[in-house]
């Protein structure tokens, strides 16, 4: 119970959930749990069912793509405070990448099956959550575009 | 201006001898230069640049990357990307380079005393900021939190890596590094440098920010700093244009109503904000 109360506060204080009313926060917190991953441990693997999303409390998780015969390619890292994973709201609800803790990481996970049911049943809550995820997705897209353009590449004299 | 300074013609390069060449990265190097003719004291302000002349090849502006507290040599870090820098890359200890300068405006390091300082930089943009970091560290107690946020293309492209590690280990500043591309062997952060700004431990209402890097990076960095609450007047950017004379005569580096060589390269962002969005400039 103490742990649940801690989770409730963590969720309430996180910028992602800013502006959400108490009732909505309570519903969301009901689907949340604390998880711990050691360095090198996978949080999820490509192709597995996306049955959760995560909030990084402390640590660092690399989203990466495996390629045969070469080192994995890290697309980005999710660090303290980041919200990680939106495959749980996009059919067919499967992870597109691997997520590997690069050091000891403590995450809050949100059960997608539990949440999807609540969001379907309460369109206002669903809209509030989707609005927040659109912001995360837009930010990631902007960052991915900046990473693509070889910002620090050869300039001119 | 003292009598000696008045006698120096800013258009005449002074011969400097290469005292040391250090390969920093696969295409980036640092030159330590000392006066070739007679020993004299060298002074500059962090953020200023010199015009370096490779005789018979050409002259280019390069920021000073050394410690302003060291007065017997001048240090430049650059990438081999064109005719002049490629010629420099091939030069060795003992050879002579022409130096004009220092020119331009400086990072407002002393004006930032009493505030938090945020340094956002990427790629070789760390070189023109290193003198400012040295000056801040030499007077560390005069500042609040000091945060360095540095982005590079890959882990192999991190400039001054040993110094970044040393600064991080000093416990009196936050040093955060991220790269755009990496393999699973890299244990650090992957993502754009602007993402670091959101997590930086500084009070945005009492912060002075120094931003230097590719202009695209600076635009997004400034946006993110402003989103966090840093005032545009407290954000300073270093701009690059086609500097030739270094003293505002020739007009090659004109940016709207300013000459980057004389009125810059360091500008308060609010003075150039309108020009940041004009593609033709």
Per residue in A113-142, pLDDT tens?
Answer: 999 988 999 999 999 999 999 999 999 999
- Cβ atoms of residues B123 and B159 within 8 Å: yes
Q: In the CATH hierarchy, which top-level class contains the domain A2-148?
A: mainly beta
What is the signed CA dihedral for B63, B69, B74, B79, rounded to 10 degrees?
Answer: -40
Chain B interface mutation, best of A82, A151, A153, A155, highest count of B Cβ atoms under 10 Å: A151
Residue A152 φ/ψ, nearest 5 degrees: -100, 15
Q: How many CB atoms lie within 10 A of CB B57?
A: 14
Secondary structure, 3-state, B124-140: HHHHHHHHHHHHHHHCH
Do A80 and B199 count as a contact with CB atoms less than 8 A apart?
yes
How far apart are the CA of A109 and the nearest CA of chain B, in angstroms? 21
What is the signed CA dihedral for A33, A34, A39, A40, rounded to 10 degrees?
Answer: -10
How far apart are the CA of B81 and the nearest CA of chain A, in angstroms? 6
- DSSP output for B230-280: --GGGEEEE-----SSSSSSS-TTEETTEEHHHH-SEEEHHHHHHHHT-TT
The pLDDT, as a whole number, for residue B7 is: 59
Q: How many CB atoms lie within 10 A of CB B275?
A: 15
Rounded to an integer, what distance in angstroms lies between the CA atom of residue B146 and that of residue B137? 9
Supply the DSSP symbol for A19: T
The pLDDT, as a whole number, for residue A150 is: 84
Query: What domains sit in chain B, N to C, each tagged with a CATH number?
Result: 3-103 (2.40.30.10), 116-238 (3.40.50.80)
The pLDDT, as a whole number, for residue B41 is: 81
The pLDDT, as a whole number, for residue A3 is: 45
Give the closest of A77, A146, A157 to B60, CB-based: A157
Q: At CA B39, angle to CA B38 and CA B43, rounded to 5?
A: 120
Between helix B161-168 and helix B126-138 the angle, nearest 10°, is 30
- Cβ atoms of residues B267 and B237 within 8 Å: yes
- DSSP output for B99-117: EEEEES----TTTTTTSEE
Chain B residue numbers with beta carbons less than 8 Å from the beta carbon of A152 are 122-124, 151-153, 157, 180, 213-214, 217
CA B204 distance to own-chain centroid: 23
How far apart, in Å, are the Cα atoms of A39 and each of A46, A47, A97, A105, B177? 18, 21, 18, 7, 19
Supply the DSSP symbol for B84: H
Q: At CA B18, angle to CA B13 and CA B21, rounded to 5?
A: 135
Chain A interface mutation, best of B180, B186, B242, highest count of A Cβ atoms under 10 Å: B180
Rounded to an integer, what distance in angstroms lies between the CA atom of residue A94 and that of residue A92? 6
The pLDDT, as a whole number, for residue B8 is: 75
Return the residue of A nearest to B220 by Cα.
Answer: A146
- Checking A141-145 for CB contacts under 8 A at 24+ apart, the result is A143/A76, A143/B191, A143/B192, A143/B194, A143/B195, A144/A75, A144/A76
- Burial (CB < 10 A; 0-12, 13-18, 19+), residue A76, is buried
Do A72 and B187 count as a contact with CB atoms less than 8 A apart?
no
How far apart are the CA of A61 and the nearest CA of chain B, in angstroms? 9
Chain A residue numbers with beta carbons less than 8 Å from the beta carbon of B189 are 60, 77, 79
Chain B residue numbers with beta carbons less than 8 Å from the beta carbon of A67 are none
Per-residue confidence of chain A (157 residues) as pLDDT tens digits? 334 558 888 899 888 998 999 999 998 999 999 999 999 999 999 999 999 999 999 999 999 999 888 899 999 999 999 999 999 999 999 999 999 999 999 999 999 999 998 899 999 999 999 999 999 999 999 999 999 988 887 666 6
- Cβ atoms of residues A27 and A125 within 8 Å: yes
Using DSSP, state whether B168 is helix, strand or coil.
Answer: helix
Give the closest of A76, A103, A151 to B190, CB-based: A76
* Beta carbons within 8 Å of B107's beta carbon, 6+ residues apart: B45, B46, B47, B129, B131, B132, B210, B236, B238, B266
The pLDDT, as a whole number, for residue A1 is: 37
Per-residue confidence of chain B (281 residues) as pLDDT tens digits? 444 455 578 999 999 999 999 999 999 999 999 999 877 788 999 999 999 999 999 999 999 999 999 989 999 999 999 999 999 999 999 999 999 999 999 999 999 999 999 999 999 999 999 999 999 999 999 999 999 999 999 999 999 999 999 999 988 999 999 999 999 999 999 999 999 998 889 999 999 999 999 999 999 999 999 999 999 999 999 998 889 999 999 999 999 899 999 999 999 999 999 887 777 66
Do B191 and A155 count as a contact with CB atoms less than 8 A apart?
no
Give the closest of A103, A147, A153 to B192, CB-based: A147
Bridge partners, B176 (sequence order): B149
Chain A residue numbers with beta carbons less than 8 Å from the beta carbon of B228 are none
**Residue ranges of chain B whose CB lies within 8 Å of a chain A CB:** 27, 60, 79, 81-85, 122-124, 151-153, 157, 178, 180-192, 194-195, 198-199, 213-214, 216-217, 220
Q: At CA B124, angle to CA B119 and CA B130, rounded to 5?
A: 45
Give the closest of B180, B188, B189 to A147, CB-based: B180
Chain B residue numbers with beta carbons less than 8 Å from the beta carbon of A71 are 183-185
The pLDDT, as a whole number, for residue B179 is: 97
Q: Domain locations in chain A?
A: 2-148
């Amino acid at each position: 119970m103490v742990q649940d109360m801690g989770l409730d506060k963590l969720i309430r204080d996180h910028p992602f959930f800013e502006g959400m009313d108490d009732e909505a926060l309570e519903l969301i917190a009901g689907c949340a749990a604390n998880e711990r991953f050691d360095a090198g441990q996978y949080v999820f693997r490509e192709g597995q069912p996306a049955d959760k999303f995560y909030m990084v409390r402390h640590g660092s998780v690399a989203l990466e793509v495996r390629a045969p015969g070469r080192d994995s390619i890290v697309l980005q890292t999710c660090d303290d405070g980041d919200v990680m994973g939106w495959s749980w709201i996009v059919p067919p609800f499967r992870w597109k990448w691997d997520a590997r803790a690069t050091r000891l990481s403590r995450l809050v996970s949100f059960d997608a099956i539990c949440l999807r049911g609540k969001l379907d049943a309460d369109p206002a809550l669903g809209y509030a959550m989707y609005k927040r995820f659109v912001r995360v997705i837009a930010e990631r897209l902007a960052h991915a575009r900046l990473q693509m353009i070889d910002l620090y590449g050869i300039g001119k004299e | 201006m003292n009598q000696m300074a008045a006698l120096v013609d800013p258009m005449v390069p002074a011969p400097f001898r290469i005292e040391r060449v250090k390969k920093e990265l696969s295409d980036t190097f640092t030159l330590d230069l000392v006066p070739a003719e007679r020993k004299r004291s060298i002074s500059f302000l962090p953020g200023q640049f010199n015009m370096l002349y490779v005789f018979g090849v050409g002259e280019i502006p390069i920021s000073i990357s050394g410690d302003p507290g060291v007065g017997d040599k001048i240090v430049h870090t650059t990438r081999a990307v064109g005719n002049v820098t490629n010629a420099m890359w091939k030069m060795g200890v003992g050879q002579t380079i022409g130096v004009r300068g220092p020119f331009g405006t400086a990072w407002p390091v002393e004006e930032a005393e009493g505030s938090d300082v945020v340094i956002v930089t990427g790629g070789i943009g760390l070189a023109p900021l290193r003198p400012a970091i040295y000056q801040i560290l030499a007077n560390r107690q005069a500042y609040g939190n000091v945060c360095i946020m540095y982005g590079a293309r890959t882990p192999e492209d991190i400039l001054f890596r040993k110094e970044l590690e040393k600064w991080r280990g000093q416990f009196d500043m936050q040093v955060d590094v991220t790269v755009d591309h990496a393999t699973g062997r890299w244990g650090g952060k992957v993502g754009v440098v602007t993402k670091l700004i959101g997590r930086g431990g500084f009070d945005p209402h009492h912060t002075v920010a120094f931003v230097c890097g590719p202009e695209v990076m600076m635009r997004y960095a400034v946006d993110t700093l402003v989103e966090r609450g840093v005032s545009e007047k407290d954000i300073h950017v270093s701009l690059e244009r086609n500097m030739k004379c270094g003293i505002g005569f020739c007009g090659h580096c004109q940016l709207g109503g300013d000459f980057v060589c004389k009125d810059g390269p360091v500008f308060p962002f609010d003075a150039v904000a309108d020009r940041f969005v004009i593609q033709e400039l």
